[in-house]
Amino acid sequence: MTSLTKDQVRISRRISLVLRHRPEVAGLTLDANGWVPVADLLAGLGLARAALDAVVAGNDKSRFAIATGADGVERIRASQGHSRRVDVDLGLPPATPPAVLYHGTPRANLPSILREGLRPRSRHHVHLSPDLATALVVGRRRSPDVAVLEVDAAAMARAGHVFHRSVNGVWLTAAVPFAQLRERSE
Ligand code: HQG
């Protein structure tokens, strides 16, 4: 989030919390597809419209999407990353993934991952990156000692695993079997 100020990063995290994990802390309920009226989010977080727009526009990952419904109401949702405890269906169509996808994770997770594959943990999906550099950034959120796994997405797709691509380019799937994972050696 390099283009945001410290205050804006704080606001962005707060919005992520509400739109992905705990809408109730702002007195909100997400609709079935994860949307809330922009006006309700602003009221719930005590946020000015200009502050929201700056965070949405400056966000390096386009974490939030704003759209106006057929009813003329402007709504916002998180593009990915929702907790399982929040019952949201993003309605993304199945998509054919690139042959290889990447997943960055603290090296300490490797023994468990190589045993049981990648699990979504507290989220709806396992999140996969389209390139190595992004996977490294994702892993470094949690540890300086990151391992990058290569996922044989082509083999998974052939075997019938369903993939979705979020509007901000993150690949989502239910789980990755350990047989389709390989540690990438630098
Ligand atoms: C690990 C951010 C042990 C997994 C990112 C990860 C992403 C296992 C952690 C998005 C495991 C879950 C998601 C197993 C998975 N044994 N560890 N069997 N299976 N794990 O945060 O992919 O910046 O839920 O490797 O950029 O790190 O917030 O997933 O380390 O797109 O917009 O369990 O969140 O997006 O952690 O990150 P997370 P993630 P934002």
CATH of the domain at 41: 1.10.10.970
User: For atom 26 of ligand 1, which residue has the closest CA?
Assistant: 138
Residue 1: band (very low, low, confident or very high) from pLDDT cuts 50, 70, 90: very low
- The predicted pLDDT at position 3 comes to 80
Q: Crossing angle for the helix pair 6-16 and 38-45, nearest 10 degrees?
A: 120
- The predicted pLDDT at position 110 comes to 96
CA of 105 to the centre of ligand 1 (A): 7
0.85 exceeded by pTM:
yes
Could you tell me if the CB of 81 is within 6 A of ligand 1? yes
Q: Residue 83 domain-assigned?
A: no
Q: Residue 39 domain-assigned?
A: yes
DSSP 161: -
> Is the domain of 71 the same as that of 133?
no
Query: Which atom, in ligand 1's list, is nearest to the CA of 141?
Result: 27
If one counts the domains in the chain, the total is 2
Of 118, 176, 181, which is best to mutate to test ligand 1, by the most ligand atoms within 8 angstroms of its C-beta?
118
Q: Residue 38 domain-assigned?
A: yes
| Closest alpha carbon to 63 in 102, 34, 28, 37 | 34
Q: Residue 113 domain-assigned?
A: yes
The per-type count for the chain, helices as H runs and strands as E runs, is 6, 9
Query: Which atom, in ligand 1's list, is nearest to the CA of 134?
Result: 26
> Is the domain of 63 the same as that of 16?
yes
CATH of the domain at 166: 3.20.170.30
User: For atom 28 of ligand 1, which residue has the closest CA?
Assistant: 81
Tell me phi and psi for residue 128, to 5 degrees: -120, 145
Q: Residue 44 domain-assigned?
A: yes
Q: Which two tokens stand for residue 78?
A: 């998180």
Give Rg (Cα) of the chain: 17
Task: Write out pLDDT tens, residues 122-172.
Answer: 999 999 999 999 999 999 999 999 999 999 999 999 999 999 999 999 999
Is 60 exceeded by the pLDDT of residue 2? no
- Find the domain containing 13 and state its range: 6-78
> Is the domain of 179 the same as that of 140?
yes
CA of 74 to the centre of ligand 1 (A): 30
Residue 146, C-beta contacts closer than 8 angstroms, at least 6 positions apart = 104, 105, 106, 107, 136, 139, 140
Spatial strand order of the sheet with 171-173 comes to 126-128, 171-173, 163-165
Could you tell me if the CB of 113 is within 6 A of ligand 1? yes
- Cβ atoms of residues 3 and 58 within 8 Å: yes
Spatial strand order of the sheet with 36-37 comes to 36-37, 74-78, 64-68
Task: Write out pLDDT tens, residues 25-73.
Answer: 999 999 999 999 999 999 999 999 999 999 998 877 789 999 999 999 9
Is 50 exceeded by the pLDDT of residue 180? yes
User: For atom 32 of ligand 1, which residue has the closest CA?
Assistant: 63
Measure Cα distances from 64 to 16, 125, 137, 158, 177 in Å. Answer: 8, 17, 19, 31, 30
